[in-house]
Amino acid sequence: MSTVNAPRVRLIIIGDEILSGRREDKHFAKMVELLSQRGMQLGGAEFVSDDRTTIADTLTRSFASDDIVFSCGGIGATPDDQTRQAAAQALGVGLALHPEAERLIAERCADNARRGSGSADMSLAENQQRLQMGVFPVGAEIVPNPYNKIPGFFIRNHTFMPGFPVMAWPMMEWTLDTRYRQWHHHVTRVEHSFLAFKLPESRITPALEALEQKWPGVKAFSLPSMGETGHPHIDLGVKGEPIAAAQALAFLRSEVLNVGGSLTPPEE
C-alpha cells in the first residue's frame, strides 16, 4: 500500500437559506456516508452565505490548498446564485459558456418541450437564461447530472454542484468514483469505543494524552454524557490503524480501571 498521505476532503455549503434556518442542510451527513463507504473521511466543512465577496474569499483560501473540495449550492442562474462568478473571481479567470454544458442544457429544453413544457427554441429569452447555468470559469470541466442533465463543474480539485440533494448526491458519487478512486480505502482505519462510568473526564485526560504519545497514529476521543441513558458516563474511544488502535483501546480500558472508573453502570 502507498505511503503517500491521502488529501484532506472538505465540504463547502453555500446558501443564505441554510444559515437562516429556512432550509436544513442534508449534504454534510450524506458526504460523511459516501466517504465512509469508500474508506475516506471528511476533514472539514464550512457554511457560507450567498454574498459573492464572501464566497470568493472562501474559495481563494480553498484553491490555495491541496484539498479535495465539494461545494454545494449557488450555481443556478438567479441573482442569489453567485458561486460560478465567485469561483472565477477567486481563480482570476473569466467566465464562458461551456460547449458540453450548452449541448446538455439544450437537450434538457428539448426533453421538456417533448413533454409539453416550454420550447426547444434556444433563442427564446427563457432558454437563453437557462444557458447561464452552463457559464463556468474558463478551464472548468463538467460534472454530469443524471437527474436533469444540467451539469455542475470541476476545476482545481473543486467540484461545484447544485444545492438540491437529488442532483448533488449522484454528482458527489460520480466524482468520488471517477476522479478519486485511487484514494478509496487508501488507509485502513478503525474506530473502537466503550462507556466508562463513575469517572470525571478530567481524571482520564492524562491517559488520553499518554495514549496519543505512545501511539502517534491513533487519535483518542472523549464524549461525556449527562445521563441520557440513565447514568452519567463518558464514551471513550480511539481511531486509527487496526493493530495500533486495538493496543491503544486495551490501554485505555485498563487506565479507566486504574483511576477508579468502571466499565459497567452502577447498580440501582
Task: Tell me the β-bridge partners of 159.
Answer: 70, 154
Domain 190-258 part of CATH 3.30.70.1130: yes
Place 1 in a pLDDT band, splitting at 50, 70 and 90.
very low
What would the grid cell of residue 14 be?
Answer: 453555500
Tens digit of pLDDT for each residue in 69-124?
999 999 999 999 999 999 999 999 999 999 999 999 999 999 999 999 999 999 99
Which pLDDT value is given to residue 102?
98
64-84: per-residue pLDDT in tens?
Answer: 999 999 999 999 999 999 999
Domain ranges of the chain: 9-183, 190-258
Give pLDDT, residue 67.
98
Contact 142, 100 (CB under 8 A): yes
In CATH, 9-183 is 3.40.1160.10: no
pLDDT digits (tens, 9 = 90+) for 132-177: 999 999 999 999 999 999 999 999 999 999 999 999 999 999 999 9
What is the pLDDT averaged over residues 8-18? 97
What is the model's pTM?
0.84
Query: Is the predicted pLDDT of residue 229 greater than 70, yes or no?
Result: no
Regarding predicted confidence, which is higher, 265 or 11? 11
CATH topology of 9-183 equal to that of 190-258? no
Output the nine-digit C-alpha cell for 23: 432550509
What DSSP line would sit under 90-118, residue for residue? HHT--EEE-HHHHHHHHHHHHHHHHTTSS
Determine the pLDDT at residue 3.
Answer: 52
Q: Label residue 266 by pLDDT band (50, 70, 90).
A: confident
pLDDT digits (tens, 9 = 90+) for 24-44: 999 999 999 999 999 999 999
pLDDT for position 181: 96
* pLDDT tens for each residue of 47-66: 999 999 999 999 999 999 99
Answer whether 217's CB lies under 8 Å from 248's CB.
no
pLDDT one-digit tens code per residue, 193-220 = 999 999 999 999 999 999 999 999 899 9
Cell 471513550 found at: 236
Query: Shortest CA distance to 154 belongs to which of 125, 132, 176?
Result: 176
- C-alpha cell of residue 158: 473543486
- Measured distance CA(79)–CA(76) in Å, rounded: 9
Is residue 2 predicted with pLDDT exceeding 60?
no
